[in-house]
């Protein structure tokens, strides 16, 4: 499989880009990786890159977007931060990726048993990590069930995963609210913004 070119990127649509990721995750789950020569792709991308998707995901070592979607060099922009939330720098990176570099799909990818989300559920406090966790805590408050405070912590993995999904949803809301550029591109149909959750126990990605 060759690296994407300006021509192949130009034929890509938001829906087609989403289908590419879904098919890639199917291959990943079935251990049927696409046949690609990465060293050849190094040579093919020497003079430029033409990715079709931008993916914001967590730093979790089990959740590499390139691997779980079976993509090669030059296929996707990968933005990673613990808890996959957005800030000004990440929004700027997304605007570059979509508006200037031509990606058609923007994905916010959360995952089950997320450590950053667990920290937010427990309201953990530790150095600079405190500020990061503060950015995820609104998702904790936004999940109404369970109401029993004894069940609203990291020991309740069902609650953790609900918060992780809500965190993805809120990140997408923030993208549309804080980036007029991306919002306008989505409204014009130039890009699609979607949320997804990766299951660390099965390798499957479910899209919202």
Whole domain around residue 108: which residue ranges?
A: 6-207
Q: Is 98 annotated for ligand binding? A: no
Q: At 78, give phi and psi (nearest 5°).
A: -115, 115
Q: To the nearest whole percent, how much of the chain has pLDDT over 90? A: 85
Total domain count, the chain: 1
pTM for this model (two decimals): 0.94
Determine the pLDDT at residue 43.
82
CA gap 107, 47 in Å, rounded: 26
Residues paired with residue 194 on neighbouring β-strands, in sequence order: 107
Does 60 appear as a known binding residue? yes
Q: What is the pLDDT of residues 33-86, one digit of tens each?
A: 888 888 888 888 888 888 999 999 999 999 999 999 999 888 999 999 999 999
- pLDDT recorded at residue 44: 84
Let me know if residue 1 belongs to a domain: no
Instruction: Tokens for 62, please give them.
Output: 């089990």
The pLDDT assigned to 13 comes to 96
Report how far apart, in Å, the C-alpha atoms of 27 and of each of 21, 107, 124, 131, 168 are: 10, 19, 37, 37, 24
70 is annotated as contributing to ligand binding: no
- Average pLDDT, rounded, for the chain: 95
- For 124-160, what is each residue's pLDDT tens digit? 999 999 999 999 999 999 999 999 999 999 999 999 9
Query: Is residue 196 a part of any domain in this protein?
Result: yes
Was 111 annotated as part of a binding site?
Answer: yes
CATH of the domain at 135: 3.40.1050.10
Angle at 90 between CA 89 and CA 94, to 5 degrees: 120
Q: Judge whether 166 lies within some domain.
A: yes
- Is residue 146 in a domain? yes
Rounded Cα distance between 32 and 46, Å, is 27
How many of the other CB atoms lie within 10 Å of CB of 32?
Answer: 10
Contact partners, residue 40, CB within 8 Å, separation at least 6: 2
């Amino acid at each position: 499989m060759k690296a994407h070119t300006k021509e192949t990127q130009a034929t890509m649509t938001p829906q087609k880009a989403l289908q590419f990721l879904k098919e890639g995750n199917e291959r990943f789950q079935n251990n049927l990786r696409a046949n690609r020569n990465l060293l050849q792709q190094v040579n093919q991308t020497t003079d430029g890159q033409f990715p079709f998707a931008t993916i914001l995901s967590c730093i979790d070592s089990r959740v590499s977007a390139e691997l779980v979607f079976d993509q090669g060099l030059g296929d996707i922009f990968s933005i990673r931060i613990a808890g996959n939330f957005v800030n000004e720098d990440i929004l700027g990176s997304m605007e570059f990726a979509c508006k200037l570099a031509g990606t058609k799909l923007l994905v916010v990818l959360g995952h089950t048993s997320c450590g950053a989300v667990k920290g937010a559920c427990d309201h953990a406090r530790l150095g600079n990590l405190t500020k990061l966790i503060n950015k995820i805590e609104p998702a904790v408050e936004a999940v109404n069930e369970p109401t029993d405070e004894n069940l609203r912590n990291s020991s309740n993995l069902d609650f953790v995963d609900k918060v992780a999904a809500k965190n993805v949803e809120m990140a997408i809301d923030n993208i549309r609210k804080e980036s007029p550029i991306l919002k306008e591109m989505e409204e014009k149909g130039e890009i699609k913004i979607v949320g997804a959750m990766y299951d660390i126990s099965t390798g499957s990605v479910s899209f919202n």
